[in-house]
Structure 1
Amino acid sequence: MTKRIVVLGVSGSGKSLIGKSIADTLGYPFFDGDDFHSQANVDKMRQGTPLNDDDRKGWLATLNAILTDNPSAVIACSGLKPEYRAMLRNGLDDVTMIYLKGSIDTIWQRHQKRDGHYFNGREMLESQFATLVEPTEDEALVIDISQNADAVLKEALTLLANSPTH
């Protein structure tokens, strides 16, 4: 089983919850990509302004460095575009990506239950869906998040155990 795992999806898809649960189960360190945004990025998102490619470059390079420096790790990161996912994998051939796939309605319902997160508003979520180029099954393990978190975790662990690197 790969030891470098990136859990992908739009904000509210469960990346942090599932990523942390995978890391805890496997005994790997967990890194929430949200914790590594620059203050300027956080301020921008708090104001409801979507990040652009330039905003994300340094952030993605930081996450790639974390993967490079940790022979086993789980990172939660939106990874909305193929080029972002390529930046995460840069120089590494043993990264498995798990894409948490859900509808905007399912994810918006979850967003409305969150407290204190800087990601601000339905427009921001809609902008993530507009930016999203869903990973193919050749690029990532794809899991439908309409099921509960325990079922998503169980499916993720099963897919990881039975899968070559993605």
Structure 2
Amino acid sequence: MTQKIVVLGVSGSGKSLIGKHIADALGYRFFDGDDFHSQANVEKMRQSIPLTDDDRKGWLETLNGLLKEHPTAVIACSGLKPEYRAILRSGVDDLAMIYLKGSIDTIWQRHQKRNGHYFNGRDMLESQFATLVEPTEEEALVVDISQEPAAVLQQALRLLNK
């Protein structure tokens, strides 16, 4: 079994929920990437200002450090571009990435049910989809999120076990 896992996807795709459940199922430590954003990044997102590559660089390096520091870990992180995923992978052996794939309509419906999250508005979600370069199947295990969370979790665990 892979020792380090990054759960990828746009905001609202279920990264934190599924990542936490994967970590619990495997007995791994879970880190929600959102918890490691700088205050400046959080303020930008609260104001519906999309993050730039420069805004994300230090954050991704911090998450990469967590992967290097912990013998087992699951991290929820958008990882929208190949360059971001390369930073996450840098110097980390035995890493699997799971991409939670869903349509903007499915994810927007989920966003509308969230309370108190700083990621704000359809424009922000659309900016993430505009930035997203979906990982290839060689780069990540792909899970369709149109199914119930329990089914998403089971599919992710099955793929990790292959």
Q: Which amino acid aligns with 1:7?
A: V
Structure 2: unaligned runs, 5 residues or longer:
none
Q: In 1, Cα distance between the equivalents of 2:134 and 2:152?
A: 18
Q: Which residue of 2 aligns with 1:122?
A: 122
The residue that corresponds to 1:90 in the other structure is 90
The alignment yields a C-alpha RMSD, in angstroms, of: 0.4
SS of the equivalent of 1:118 reads coil
Matched, 1:23 2:53: no
Counterpart-to-counterpart distance in 2, 1:124 and 1:95? 29
Taking the aligned partners of 2:91 and 2:26, their CA distance within structure 1 comes to 24
Give distance in 1, aligned partners of 2:5 and 2:140. 10
**Which residue in the other structure is 1:54 paired with?**
54
Give percent identity, aligned residues only: 80
In structure 2, how many angstroms separate the alpha carbons of the residues matched to 1:151 and 1:90?
A: 31
Q: For residues 121 and 70 of structure 2, what CA distance do their matches in structure 1 show?
A: 34
Query: What is the SS of the residue equivalent to 1:7?
Result: strand
Which digits, 9 at most, give the CA deviation of each residue in 1:7-37, with x for residues without a partner? Answer: 0000000000000000001000000000000
> What corresponds to 1:135 in structure 2?
135
**2:33 alignment counterpart:** 33
Q: TM-score, normalised by structure 1?
A: 0.97
Partner Cα distance (1:152, 1:56) in 2: 27
Aligned length in residues? 162
1:154 aligns with 2:154: yes
Deviation at 1:68, TM superposition (A): 0.2
TM-score scaled to structure 2, two decimals? 0.99
Deviation at 1:92, TM superposition (A): 1.4
**Displacement over 3 Å in runs of 4+:** none
2:106 — aligned with what? 106
Structure 1 residue runs without a partner (length 5+) = none
Q: Hey, what's the Cα distance between the residues in 2 that align with 1:157 and 1:94?
A: 16
Q: 1:93 offset after TM fit, Å? A: 2.6
